[in-house]
Amino acid sequence: MKYYIIAGEASGDLHGSNLIKALKKYDEAADIRCWGGDLMQEAGGTLAKHYKEMAFMGFLEVLKNISTIFKNIAYCKADIDKFKPDAIIFIDFSGFNLRIAKWAKERKYKTNYYISPQVWASREGRVKKIKKYIDAMYVILPFEKAFYAKHGFEVSFVGHPLLDAISNAKVEAFDTFCHAHQLNGNQPIIALLPGSRKQEVEKMLNVMLSIVPDFPNHQFVIAGAPSLEDHFYQRFLVKKNVRFVSKQTYSLLSHSHAALVTSGTATLETALFKVPQVVCYKGNWISYQIAKRIITLNYISLVNLIMDKEVVKELIQGDLTTKNLKKELSQILEVQKREEIRQDYDALIKKLGGTGASEKVAQLIVQNM
């Protein structure tokens, strides 16, 4: 069978790569063409477009790049028609994917969605489009099945693919990791996960690094995003106890004492490694004002959303200051607070439904062909 997969970000590339491996297991003749990244290509997909050419963050950034986005949409449609897949699989990336889904459904392609758009967070009306244009939806958050049921759409909860990604990850031993990255093996590590796009990384790191002098007995290590070149981070490596690791986020988290994390998938990854964290977010002012008016959630981090309570502290927009960040990091370095967070992390992991998400999705897609 022929499969066309569309992912538009680093996290989608990761989950898409595991899905490709699973599809090849259940369909040995699988021919897969994809929009994604290096991981999907390494897994056996033929890359039509790299996500680095498509990652635009925030309302203003999208408007500035609107002509490129429309060109990508037109190219995607033409490429699908040329490939003629038996099934199209969308992975998150809703602004782009729902446009393609509408067109694909009209042309009688079989449409599957793996990792639902966050319609439960904003613009709930998009559920109507999803019901109309998507044949099968595979959700990864436990509350999403009930959300869609409320709207009369039966979906499959498959568990969270991060559980698989982390269980399969190759993590360097502590001594090897420290030696490779010139770290002090006797100082606790504070991981800095500032995001995956240039504009958010610049905003986040400037605040995160402002508290470094207040924690002289710790070393701060920046996790480089696969979507950015290593040299981009050099300007931030000016303080003596700040280091940088590239494409080693899981090894970094496995050896970290605490973390400062930009809101997104990384907050859940950090929780799965049981690292106490402070969640940070500061966006473009206009984009934030718009988002604030359409997002209806009490929390922004996946950890708190899944648990439906404040497990980890969120410092958003104006609250993300040097003073507040110093205070919150100090608190999660205390023994009692760390134990409370880790107990909540254990409950979170139980809620996520176990491993095997990619395998479940692949099996269901192949069975329903």
Per residue in 178-212, pLDDT tens? 999 999 999 999 999 999 888 889 889 999 999 99
pLDDT confidence of residue 293: 45
pLDDT confidence of residue 53: 79
54 close to 34: Cβ distance less than 8 angstroms: no
pLDDT confidence of residue 58: 52
pLDDT surpasses 60 at 296: no
pLDDT surpasses 70 at 286: no
CA 150 to CA 10: how far, in whole Å? Answer: 31
Cα separation of the two ends of the chain? 9
The confidence band for 77, taking pLDDT boundaries of 50, 70 and 90, is very high
Average model confidence (pLDDT) across the chain? 91
The confidence band for 260, taking pLDDT boundaries of 50, 70 and 90, is very high
Mean pLDDT of 257-276: 95
pLDDT confidence of residue 294: 45
State pLDDT tens for residues 131-170. Answer: 999 999 999 999 999 999 999 999 999 999 999 889 888 8
pLDDT confidence of residue 41: 97
| Domains, the chain, with CATH or none | 2-160+354-367 (3.40.50.2000), 172-351 (3.40.50.2000)
The confidence band for 290, taking pLDDT boundaries of 50, 70 and 90, is very low
Which runs of E-coded beta strand occur in 170-312?
Answer: 189-193, 219-224, 242-246, 258-262, 277-281
Q: For 73-77, 79-83, 215-219, 226-230, which range has the lowest pLDDT when averaged over its residues? A: 226-230
State pLDDT tens for residues 300-345. Answer: 899 999 999 999 999 998 899 999 999 999 999 999 999 999 999 9
CA 200 to CA 337: how far, in whole Å? Answer: 28
Cβ-based burial of 284 (10 A; exposed 0-12, middle 13-18, buried ≥19) = middle
Q: For the full predicted model, state whether its pTM sits above 0.85.
A: no
State pLDDT tens for residues 40-66. Answer: 999 999 999 999 877 555 555 556 667
Amino acid at 44: G
Mean pLDDT of 209-225: 96
**Taking Cα atoms as reference points, which of 360, 363, 267, 356 lies closest to residue 312?**
267
Residue 123 structure tokens: 């613009």
pLDDT confidence of residue 64: 62
Compute the Cα dihedral for 97, 99, 102, 107 and give only its sign: negative
**Taking Cα atoms as reference points, which of 316, 315, 253, 248 lies closest to residue 283?**
316
Beta-sheet pairing, 136-139 with 189-193 = unpaired
Q: What is the CA radius of gyration of the chain?
A: 21
pLDDT confidence of residue 55: 59
Half-sphere exposure of 182 (CA within 13 A, CB side): 5
Mean pLDDT of 286-296: 50
